[in-house]
Structure 1
Amino acid sequence: MSHVALILVRFAVIIAGYVCAALAASTVLHLAWIGAAGFEPELAPWVLLGSIAFSIPFVALFIGYFAFLPALVAIAITEFARWQDWLTYALAGGAIAIVLMSVFWGRRQGDLSLEFEGMPQVSAERLDDPQVFAALLAAGFVGGIGYWIVAGRGAGKWRRAPRARIPPLP
């Protein structure tokens, strides 16, 4: 395969890994929210079914949107440095989560509150809660590991020079 084709395949794998990372982070946030919301045991399967079908992919779109620039920097660093261990990607996911939390903490002057009837209120003041901080950080860690599973294990392989074919000796 030519070098250009290797790079194009790598870009496709990186995009797939990023999508999986956003879905994994969204799943962790949903599991944390469902656990903290205190639903009745008989309603839990229906809430989980609704989350899996609609809400997890929908929130993953927002996670992918907001985390794009910090993740782009982390992906470029790990690709060019050829880092392939899972811990690097987990820590990078946690760092991306901290960057995003700091961005939203910086916007506390504006109105970020969301209120829905019968649902717990989500607002910028909730970011001071250690449980919310831990859930967001855990989502970053799991997102980083999700990216590593799909794309991180092959980081930098496109940079290796193709082996020269030596003709057989007569």
Structure 2
Amino acid sequence: MITITNLTARIFVILTGYFLAVSAAVGSLGFINVIFINPSMGGNNILGLLGIALISVFYSYVTWPYTILPALLIVALGEVFSRRDKLFYILAAITMNLFLYAAYSDAGNQGDSIIAILAKILFSGFIGGLTYWMIAGRWTNIPSQREYNNTL
């Protein structure tokens, strides 16, 4: 039986997982830009990496309106079908990144190669999906001890 307290706690965990996953995905984009694609941006010192971390937290609040609906669909599918595996959330986040890139990017004005763009999409989707799984996805629809004892 689902109580209001359990439902409220689950919604809080889901929202926390979502916001931290978006922050981690955006941070991973900054990390991959600085370290691998454009090292002259300041990735060779600790202050540059701390700046990326701080900017990614603020930038994640800018990007959440674009990601909230696809993420809610992924979370709802995970909750309904009791998906607790990493692969589901990682592949769903990568797929979401591909669709969001196709929908909201202006590919004609970017100077990146297709390999760099795919690396960004795959890496940030992997980090975002893994972060959500670590915070909220592992405990999707796990029955409580009381519910487990009632089934025996």
Amino acid at match of 2:21: A
Q: Percent identity?
A: 25
Q: Find runs of 4+ consecutive structure 1 residues off by over 3 angstroms.
A: 40-43, 123-128, 158-165
Q: Determine the structure 2 residue equivalent to 1:147.
A: 132
Offset from partner CA, 1:64-106 (integer Å, 9 cap, x none): 221111111000000010000001110011011011011124x
Q: Determine the structure 2 residue equivalent to 1:3.
A: 3
Offset from partner CA, 1:1-50 (integer Å, 9 cap, x none): 96221111100000110011011101210111112222287963221122
Alignment partners' CA distance in 1, 2:111 and 2:90: 24
Q: Secondary structure at the match of 2:4?
A: helix
Q: Determine the structure 1 residue equivalent to 2:94.
A: 94
The two structures have a TM-score, normalised by structure 1, of: 0.75
Q: How many corresponding residue pairs?
A: 149
More helix, by proportion: 2
Matches within 5 A, 1:123-162: 124-126=109-111, 129-157=114-142, 162=147
The gaps in structure 2 that reach 5 residues or longer are: none
Name the stretch that deviates more: 154-163 or 63-72: 154-163
The CA RMSD measured in Å over matched residues stands at 2.9
